[in-house]
Structure 1
Amino acid sequence: MYVDNWFSGADTVEEVATKFKTAYDIMADANMSLEKVSSNSVVIASKFKDKMQILSDDEINMVLGLKWSNYDDKFSYFGLHLGPDFEISYTKRTVLSLIAKVFDPCGFISPFIMYAKIIFQVIWKLGISWDDKLPDELERKFKKWIDSTRYFSSLAIRCYFTNVPWKSIEHIEIHGFGDASEKGFGACVYLRVCLGNDCQSSLVMSKARVAPIKKLTLPKLELMGALLCARLVRFVERALDSKIKPGIVCWTDSTITLGWIRSDSVTRDVFVNNRVREIQHLTPPSHWHHCSGSNNPADLMTRGLLAEKLIGNNLWFSGPCNLSDPTFSIQDSDNSIIVNETVNYESKDHLVCLSVQTATPMFDVEKYNNLNKSIRIVGYVQRFMSNCKAKGSGVAVSTGGFTTEELDKAKARLIYVVQREAFPSEIQALSDQRLIPKNSKLRKLDPFIDDKGIVRIKDRLQFSDLSYESKHPIILPRGHFSKLLVQFQHKFLKHAGVNSIVSSLRSSFHVTGERRMAKTVVRECLDCCRHDSRPCSQPAAPLPDLRVTPAPPFAVTGIDFAGPVFSADYPGKKLYMLLFTCAIVRAVHLELTESMSLVDFMQALRKFAARRSIPSVIYSDNAKTFVAASSEVQKVFGHLAPKWRFNVPRSPWWGGWFERLVGSVKVALKKTLGIRYVRKKELETIVEIEACINSRPLTFVSDEPDFEHYLTPSHFILGRNISFKPPVDIEPYVVTPDDLRDREEIVNKRLEQF
Structure 2
Amino acid sequence: MTGAQLASVLKRELTLNIQEMVYWTDSTTVLTWLQSDSCRYKVFVGTRVAEIQELSGPASWRYVDSESNPADDITRGKTLSQLAGESRWSQGPPFLQLSANHWPNAPSGEPTEEVEELRKTSFCGLLTGADTPTLPDTQQFSTYQELLEATTRSLHGAANITDHPTADDYNKAELALLRQAQMESFPEDFVLLKSGKAIPTSSRLLTLTPEYDETTDLIRAGGRLRRCEDLNREFLHPILLALSHPVTKLLIQHFDNQLCHPGAERVFTELRRTYWILRGREAVRKHQYNCPGCRKWRGKPEIPKMADLPPSSLRLF
Give, as a single letter, the amino acid of the residue that structure 1 aligns with 2:153: Y
The equivalent residue for 1:376 is 149
Q: d(CA) in 1 for partners of 2:268 and 2:177? A: 21
The equivalent residue for 1:414 is 177
- Residue among 118, 122, 128 paired with 1:354: 122
- Matching of residue 474 in structure 1 with residue 239 in structure 2: yes
Show CA shifts across 1:428-470 (max 9, x none): 4334433222222222211222322222112333416334322
The equivalent residue for 1:271 is 50
Equivalences for residues 93-242 of structure 1 within 5 A: 225-226=9-10, 228=12, 233-234=17-18
Whichever structure has more strand as a proportion of its residues is 1
The equivalent residue for 1:692 is none
Give, as a single letter, the amino acid of the residue that structure 2 aligns with 1:466: L
- Matching of residue 514 in structure 1 with residue 269 in structure 2: no
Give, as a single letter, the amino acid of the residue that structure 1 aligns with 2:287: V
The equivalent residue for 2:312 is none
Q: Unaligned stretches of 5+ in structure 2? A: 34-44, 65-85, 93-115, 304-317
TM-score (norm 1): 0.26
Conserved in 1, the CA contact under 8 Å of 2:241 and 2:278? yes
Shift of 1:486: 2.1
The equivalent residue for 1:457 is 221
Conserved in 1, the CA contact under 8 Å of 2:5 and 2:55? no
Give, as a single letter, the amino acid of the residue that structure 2 aligns with 1:455: I
Q: d(CA) in 2 for partners of 1:480 and 1:518? A: 13
Q: d(CA) in 1 for partners of 2:168 and 2:217? A: 17
Shift of 1:474: 0.5
Q: d(CA) in 1 for partners of 2:91 and 2:264? A: 79
Q: d(CA) in 1 for partners of 2:287 and 2:89? A: 69
What SS class does the counterpart of residue 408 from structure 1 fall into? helix
Q: d(CA) in 1 for partners of 2:153 and 2:246? A: 21
Show CA shifts across 1:631-668 (max 9, x none): xxxxxxxxxxxxxxxxxxx9xxxxxxxxxxxxxxxxxx
Show CA shifts across 1:198-246 (max 9, x none): xxxxxxxxxxxxxxxxxxxx99976654565799835xx6xxxxxxxxx
The CA RMSD over aligned residues, in Å, is 4.8
- Matching of residue 441 in structure 1 with residue 210 in structure 2: no
Q: d(CA) in 2 for partners of 1:526 and 1:334? A: 77
Q: d(CA) in 1 for partners of 2:287 and 2:11? A: 49
Give, as a single letter, the amino acid of the residue that structure 2 aligns with 1:354: S
Q: Which has the higher contact order (CA 8 A, sep 6+)?
A: 2
**Are the structure 2 counterparts of residues 222 and 476 from structure 1 closer, same or farther at C-alpha, using a change threshold of 3 Å?**
farther
Shift of 1:416: 2.5
The equivalent residue for 1:614 is none
Q: d(CA) in 2 for partners of 1:227 and 1:505? A: 67
Conserved in 2, the CA contact under 8 Å of 1:365 and 1:480? no
Conserved in 2, the CA contact under 8 Å of 1:426 and 1:440? yes
Conserved in 1, the CA contact under 8 Å of 2:234 and 2:273? yes
**Are the structure 2 counterparts of residues 334 and 486 from structure 1 closer, same or farther at C-alpha, using a change threshold of 3 Å?**
farther
**Are the structure 2 counterparts of residues 285 and 356 from structure 1 closer, same or farther at C-alpha, using a change threshold of 3 Å?**
closer
Q: d(CA) in 2 for partners of 1:232 and 1:407? A: 72
What SS class does the counterpart of residue 260 from structure 2 fall into? coil
Q: d(CA) in 2 for partners of 1:230 and 1:278? A: 20
Identical-residue share of aligned pairs (%):
19
Show CA shifts across 1:621-640 (max 9, x none): xxxxxxxxxxxxxxxxxxxx
**Are the structure 2 counterparts of residues 381 and 221 from structure 1 closer, same or farther at C-alpha, using a change threshold of 3 Å?**
same
Computing the radius of gyration from Cα coordinates, the structure with the larger value is 1
Q: d(CA) in 1 for partners of 2:127 and 2:178? A: 18
Q: d(CA) in 2 for partners of 1:522 and 1:232? A: 65
Conserved in 2, the CA contact under 8 Å of 1:476 and 1:511? yes
What SS class does the counterpart of residue 262 from structure 1 fall into? strand
Give, as a single letter, the amino acid of the residue that structure 2 aligns with 1:476: L
**Are the structure 2 counterparts of residues 479 and 446 from structure 1 closer, same or farther at C-alpha, using a change threshold of 3 Å?**
same
Shift of 1:355: 0.7
Q: d(CA) in 1 for partners of 2:290 and 2:157? A: 36
Shift of 1:475: 0.8
**Are the structure 2 counterparts of residues 225 and 496 from structure 1 closer, same or farther at C-alpha, using a change threshold of 3 Å?**
farther
**Are the structure 2 counterparts of residues 232 and 496 from structure 1 closer, same or farther at C-alpha, using a change threshold of 3 Å?**
farther
**Are the structure 2 counterparts of residues 268 and 380 from structure 1 closer, same or farther at C-alpha, using a change threshold of 3 Å?**
closer
**Are the structure 2 counterparts of residues 278 and 532 from structure 1 closer, same or farther at C-alpha, using a change threshold of 3 Å?**
farther
**Are the structure 2 counterparts of residues 284 and 454 from structure 1 closer, same or farther at C-alpha, using a change threshold of 3 Å?**
closer
Give the number of aligned pairs.
234
**Are the structure 2 counterparts of residues 271 and 459 from structure 1 closer, same or farther at C-alpha, using a change threshold of 3 Å?**
same
What SS class does the counterpart of residue 233 from structure 1 fall into? coil
The equivalent residue for 2:96 is none
Shift of 1:353: 1.0
Q: d(CA) in 1 for partners of 2:265 and 2:15? A: 62
Give, as a single letter, the amino acid of the residue that structure 1 aligns with 2:151: V
Shift of 1:509: 0.6
What SS class does the counterpart of residue 455 from structure 1 fall into? strand
Conserved in 2, the CA contact under 8 Å of 1:227 and 1:275? no
Q: d(CA) in 1 for partners of 2:182 and 2:285? A: 23
